[in-house]
Copies of this chain bind each other. A is one copy, B any other.
Amino acid sequence: MVRNSLPYNPATESFFMTTNPLPTIVTLDLEGVFTPEIWHAVAEETNIPALRLTTRDEPDYDKLMKYRINILQDNNLSLRNIQDVIASMALLPGARAFLDWLRCQTQAIILSDTFYEFAAPFMQKLGEPTLFCNMLQVNDRDMIVDYHLRIDDGKREAVMALKRINFRVIAAGDSYNDTTMLAAADHGILFRPPQNVIDDFPQFPVTSEYDELKELFTELLNG
């Protein structure tokens, strides 16, 4: 009854709607692909330049997050304050139309290192796509007191989990923290990456416009 390990049979190629008998899920990063960088915008809106620090400045993510949480507390900025800033941010131009197109072609899941509490306003603007990310911890005065990463290397683990239940995965992202996801996928694509990521990962095709991504996805989806 079950053919979960069915190898691709070239002899029957013409009978498949795609050349691959496994259905495809596209996984995509959030910030840099659909939205601006959240912390950058928060830094600007709140006039606290220290919040601009990223993992490029402080590679230890836990130190970076604790530092950010301390700054928010020192400035008496609640989760609601941050959410208000995020709700005022626009998607990248063309992001919604691109995702709408993609979701009509195949399944799409957004994989992000951000937090559901931050992402919610963006998800509404994107038409409530499925998002795998993390949770903040907030106290009874609505102050962020901690954060919880669901799992180490969460984007890569999600891709592996989808592959283990026999999906073909195409992944797209913009930065270093996407490269393990891109490598784990059947096909990895860079979208608007910085030059050092292009240099360090020459194996991934580079795209800079949604139309290029569309073309590449269409090619991969139609074999």
Contact = CB atoms under 8 A, between A and B. Distances in A.
Contacts of A127: 127-128
A2 interface: yes
A16 B137 contact: yes
A147 to B, nearest CB: 9
A3 B149 contact: yes
SS of A interface (majority)? mixed
Given A1-B62, A23-B116, A139-B15, A150 B130 contact: no
A132 B1 contact: no
Contacts of A60: 1
Contact of A145 (B15, B108, B146): B15
A61 B148 contact: no
A138 B17 contact: yes
Interface string A151-176: 11010011001101111000000000
A14 B140 contact: yes
B23 A135 contact: yes
A11 interface: no
A157 B165 contact: yes
